[in-house]
């Protein structure tokens, strides 16, 4: 006699996402750890040995000169690290308590290691006060994760199920898009332009500076990267009617970041300095081509994104430097923006070489 199969209730059809079901905290933790390490050791040049023990700064007198701004920056810089590490480690035995304690230890050890390495950098001075502030920031982040992290990432898991495509490592793709958004906060780089290796290695542009050549290449670079980012983001989105609106909102966010960065880091009157004739043409052509490419199947979209990414990377290295930008942006590279400038330039230079393998891996699974 056949047994009746149990019927599933509506609540059993779609299980509620669990906080640990997403790798997003892990990916964000690793990305943030790399960024904060680079920012702490920039410019990574002119290493020297002063003969001072690496840990001598720990029991030294506290710095005579310090500001509330410096203390706040050192605390806030490590707060996200403590928060993300606690969430990423939540699956360890002991639950939230062990995750928060281990996150605090890891953040403090990272700060200690970076402060020790600053002994060999001529432009950096290790400080026990910085170490203490970094540990405090990590602790605050861990406490916030202990109190609210489960609720926050349960909601993120729900949004991920509703809006994102069910592809492998979709969270890593989100992190890469976030890194790309970071590059738009540097008014020194070309709009949407990534992969310029001239800031990493000594390269001479193949095209000499001329107004016409700069206009054409600028428009081509922006058009290619508009296609790349649009197709990249569309690959991560689920097949819903609102996906195109989400793409439009993402581009509006990128341009808003660009505008705000120019207003804050350069001058308010230069907030729209990025909106050059070449930029307008590139956005128009790239937007039209992107609209057509969104109609093709997913695997073809990924392939087109890879081709546009390689083309845009080649073109950005052929584009001559704009003398006006070099002079106008000389001031903001100094002071507190020095590390930020170096960080965004490196991220912008290396982004295509990380995004292309990701697109290749995703394309093979579609």
- pLDDT one-digit tens code per residue, 45-58: 777 877 777 777 77
CA distance 91 to 21: 10
Both tokens of 330, joined, read: 């000389």
Residue 78 has pLDDT above 80, yes or no: yes
3-state helix, strand, coil in the chain (%, to 5): 70, 0, 30
Cis peptide before 89 (omega within 30 of 0): no
Residue 4 predicted with pLDDT over 50:
no
State the pLDDT at residue 199. 67
| pLDDT for position 203 | 62
pLDDT of residue 347: 86
The residues that bridge with 354 in the sheet, in sequence order, are none
What are the residue boundaries of the structural domains of the chain, listed by start? 19-163, 170-365
How would residue 6 be classed by pLDDT, with cut points 50, 70 and 90? very low
Q: For residues 150 and 156, what is the distance between their CA atoms, to the nearest angstrom?
A: 10
d(CA 211, CA 188): 18
Q: How far is CA 265 from CA 50, 69, 108, in A?
A: 35, 17, 31
State how far the Cα of 246 lies from the Cα of 163, in Å rounded to an integer. 10
Taking the C-alpha atoms of residue 174 and residue 248, their distance in angstroms, rounded to an integer, is 16
Which band of pLDDT confidence, cut at 50, 70 and 90, is reported for residue 160?
confident
Higher pLDDT: 11 or 199? It is 199
Token digits for 111? Answer: 């700060």
pTM over 0.85: no
């Amino acid at each position: 006699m056949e047994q009746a199969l149990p019927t599933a209730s509506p609540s059993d059809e779609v299980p509620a996402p669990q906080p640990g079901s997403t790798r997003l905290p892990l990916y964000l933790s690793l990305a943030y750890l790399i960024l904060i390490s680079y920012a702490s050791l920039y410019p990574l040049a002119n290493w020297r040995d002063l003969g001072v023990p690496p840990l001598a700064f720990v029991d030294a007198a506290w710095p005579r000169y310090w500001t509330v701004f410096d203390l706040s920056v050192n605390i806030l810089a490590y707060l996200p690290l403590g928060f993300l590490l606690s969430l990423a480690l939540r699956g360890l035995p002991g639950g939230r308590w062990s995750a928060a304690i281990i996150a605090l230890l890891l953040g403090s050890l990272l700060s200690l290691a970076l402060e020790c390495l600053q002994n060999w950098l001529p432009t950096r001075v290790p400080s026990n006060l910085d170490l203490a502030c970094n540990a405090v920031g990590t602790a605050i982040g861990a406490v916030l994760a202990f109190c609210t992290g489960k609720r926050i990432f349960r909601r993120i898991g729900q949004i991920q199920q509703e809006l994102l495509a069910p592809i492998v490592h979709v969270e890593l793709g989100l992190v890469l898009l976030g890194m790309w958004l970071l590059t738009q906060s540097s008014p020194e780089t070309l709009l949407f332009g990534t992969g310029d290796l001239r800031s990493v290695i000594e390269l001479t542009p193949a095209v000499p500076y001329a107004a016409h050549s700069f206009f054409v290449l600028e428009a081509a670079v922006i058009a290619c990267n508009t296609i790349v980012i649009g197709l990249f983001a569309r690959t991560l989105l689920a097949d819903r009617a609102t996906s195109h609106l989400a793409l439009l909102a993402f581009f509006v966010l990128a341009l808003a970041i660009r505008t705000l960065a120019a207003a804050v880091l350069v001058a308010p009157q230069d907030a729209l300095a990025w909106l050059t004739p070449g930029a307008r043409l590139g956005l128009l052509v790239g937007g039209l081509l992107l609209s057509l490419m969104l109609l093709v199947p997913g695997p073809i979209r990924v392939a087109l994104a890879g081709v546009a990414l390689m083309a845009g990377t080649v073109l950005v290295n052929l584009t001559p430097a704009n003398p006006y930008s070099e002079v106008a942006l000389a001031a903001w590279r100094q002071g507190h923006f020095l590390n930020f400038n170096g960080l965004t330039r490196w991220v912008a230079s290396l982004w295509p070489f990380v995004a292309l393998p990701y697109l290749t891996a995703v394309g093979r699974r579609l």
